[in-house]
Amino acid sequence: MIHRPPPHPGLTGGPVYLDYNATTPVDPRVVEAMLPHLTGHFGNPSSTHPYGSEPRSALTAARAQVAELIGARPGEIVFTSSGSEADLLALRGATLAATRTRPHVITQATEHPAILATCQALELLHHARITVLPVDREGLVDPAALTAALDDDTVLVSVMVANNETGALQPVRELADAAHRAGALLHCDAAQAVGKIPLDVRELGADLLTVVGHKMYASKGAAALFVRDGVRLEPVVYGGGQERGLRAGTENVALAVALGAAAQLAADDLADGAHERIRGLRDELHQRLVDALPGRVRLNGPVEQRLPNTLNIGIDGVPGHRVLDGAPRIAASTGSACHSGIHTPSPVLTAMGTDPARALEAVRLSLGRWTTRDEIGAAATAIAAAVNVFAAGTR
């Protein structure tokens, strides 16, 4: 039996929210867990007097909750302020800790900008050598291509578990095996995957893995990096010995508690099969759109090998931003960027070989904990109506 969450006050009376991959509403149960650490339990967790004991215990419990969700040990969890910071700690930390004269880092073309920009900085500031692997038309890396790119100087491979736009799930285990055969570490940005699908860092073969709170119903500013025991990293913040000496500074206990509570709720959801409920709603939404717009809807990304909550579609002849402009009842996103009214196609889709004009037609619809069947019906109706209005106006 799937246990439905309590109603969320932030979603009452507004547009249908289908942008869960951008950010998730903070679960009221997460807010309840963190509130005592914003009010009564103000002590420094490093203090040895009684005011530090409750924050210290809460930090320990939160670390264990995050570890349990991903199959790690509590001591392997390092709290950070964001996924981007966790990615930086992983990439810069592993590169600077390596003994190579010119360390080699491998990533792939559809990574999050936090990874790609960090790789550029490593190349510019630390003389690293960067290889960016191509992806196929489904957005997947070929393990054979990784094997061919590895060499004696490769210190790190960074490949995301799931893409934020298409939901494409990379063959992480095969990539990990290839990296390890060459003596390299594997880092995974799992911001979009943690809590949506079952994940175990040992089964994945990941040495480093990024967890992001605001993608799994915790507050923004809460994140973590799994660092496998024995992996050496250069710290991202220098100073005291907090977070295994990798991130100095007094810990934000309230946000760590929020991440821990969210991890526990996610574990409960996965055990209850909530991801299968969401997969069913996603597929129903897709089918409703196909039925309402026959011959015009195409799927961007894999049919099967993707997140259960993610639907990225293109509608022939209609730019994605026009679809959403014409359907204000729907809160969703496109993969394009807009600068001064000029829209540019998604780098993710173009890296997959999608024609730029077709890439501009993309709309990403991502579902989550509070998505209902009634909302799916309303979204399909609103999107189809917007498409038909646009088509009529361009005749």
The residues annotated with a catalytic role in the active site are: 338
Task: Check: CB of residue 83 under 8 Å from CB of residue 21.
Answer: no
List Cβ neighbours of 293 (8 Å cut-off, separation of 6 or more).
Answer: 315, 384, 387
d(CA 51, CA 73) in angstroms, rounded, equals 27
d(CA 226, CA 348) in angstroms, rounded, equals 26
Q: How do strand 185-189 and strand 208-212 relate by DSSP bridges? A: parallel
d(CA 103, CA 95) in angstroms, rounded, equals 6
d(CA 325, CA 344) in angstroms, rounded, equals 16
Q: Per residue, what are the HEC states of 271-303? A: HHCHHHHHHHHHHHHHHHHHHHCCCCEEECCCC
Q: Which amino acid is at 111?
A: E
CB atoms < 10 A from the CB of 341, how many? 5
Token pair in block for residue 277: 């409920």
